[in-house]
Structure 1
């Protein structure tokens, strides 16, 4: 089953929020396990703060030696596995990336975020080379303005695409509802409309994001199917 890892070497890019949104929406119609490798244990803290009603499972895996085991076990019982890594280029992130079918690197598009995004992409490519496999990387622009795209962000996207880096067309907007997920320890679709601004736009934005991730995964799944068929024919 697909393993999707969220990775960045810098905090504040919406990495965990993006992973949470993907887990919540996918779990509405699929089995999902989140492997939380962040020492801050955001998913565990969300639960302790009163979060409930989630349809996805999550496990906390802070020991680098346990990460491959937890991902493998989750893959055996869930249709999707989502890995939220620490904001650091470390052994845990390398092992998670090596087991991934796709890595999503988050960035707000600022020059500093872009430098770290470039480091993250290079790190994933090195992990892929070491593992002897191709690991697709997609960049997700996060915390964007609701109206218009800044010149800085437009240039950042253009620079990445010119360098052969694939950027998701969908951007996660800076929405009150997204910030409230951990602030109120709530699922996106359970948020009280009286406590957040315009949650409907956040619902739509999150769904578009998830649909684009699924579309990006489709060629990966087709490639895996072709390899499996070739092995069976060779046998």
Structure 2
């Protein structure tokens, strides 16, 4: 089992969308649970709109004391959507104490960067948890946007990131209302690109795990 924390202590970076869609892709071949511990409960609202159609198991639980028992559950991967606020570090700390990997979505807005870096330096690196930044909501109509943000993460911040990025599509913004996840999008050309992005992030994540030396937490799982 691996527990993956989706972390973004600033709203609008794509954390909930990434949680739901990575879980959907991984659920095609494994047993997946999504846990919502964000008091805003955006993931819970999405799941409620989906009803019985989600391809993975979903649970909402904002009680940090319950997180320690996640390893007792019978799943291959558990994705945990964490609070999108700089104020609620108690829940974030409880998640990171059990997490094996952290995904940090980052959309191309400069004001989101300091919060992400602060989270990494104060909460993730001290625990020695492997992590990757995921460039999200990239608008390919804006010349140079992707390249500028790749340079910022690679050369400026010197942080590990996914090679694949998530493009900006209306389908992602509309999905919570309909309850759909990326593997359930209607079959259109644009949607095929949206599916491609999350599929390749999931493949990259599995490749990282395949080449990763297990931490003590993972070895006990």
TM-score, structure 2 length as denominator?
0.86
Give the superposition deviation at 1:224.
Answer: 4.7
Unmatched 5+ stretches in structure 2: none
Q: Is the 8 A contact 1:103 1:135 kept in 2?
A: yes
Give the superposition deviation at 1:127.
Answer: 5.1
Unmatched 5+ stretches in structure 1: 129-133
Structure 2 CA distance for aligned equivalents of residues 99 and 164 of structure 1: 25
Does 2:159 align with 1:165? Answer: yes
Give the superposition deviation at 1:126.
Answer: 5.5
Q: Is the 8 A contact 2:35 2:61 kept in 1?
A: yes
Structure 2 CA distance for aligned equivalents of residues 101 and 16 of structure 1: 19
Alignment of 1:208-227 (within 5 A): 208-220=200-212, 222-224=213-215
Higher normalized contact order (CA 8 Å, seq sep 6+, divided by chain length)? 2
Greater shift, 118-127 or 58-67, is seen at 118-127
1:81 is matched with which residue? 78
Alignment of 1:1-235 (within 5 A): 1-69=1-69, 71-74=70-73, 77-89=74-86, 90-125=89-124, 128=127, 134-147=128-141, 150-151=144-145, 154-162=147-155, 163-193=157-187, 198-220=190-212, 222-224=213-215
| Root mean square deviation of aligned Cα | 2.4
The 3-state SS of whatever aligns with 1:35 is strand
Give the superposition deviation at 1:115.
Answer: 1.2
The 3-state SS of whatever aligns with 1:111 is coil
Q: Which has the larger radius of gyration?
A: 1
1:21-46: CA deviations, max 9, x gaps?
11001011100111111112233322
Equivalenced residue count is: 216
Q: Is the 8 A contact 2:108 2:149 kept in 1?
A: yes
Give the superposition deviation at 1:161.
Answer: 2.4
Structure 2 CA distance for aligned equivalents of residues 217 and 126 of structure 1: 18
Structure 2 CA distance for aligned equivalents of residues 109 and 216 of structure 1: 24
Structure 1 residues 72 and 156 mapped into 2: Cα distance closer, same or farther (>3 Å)? same
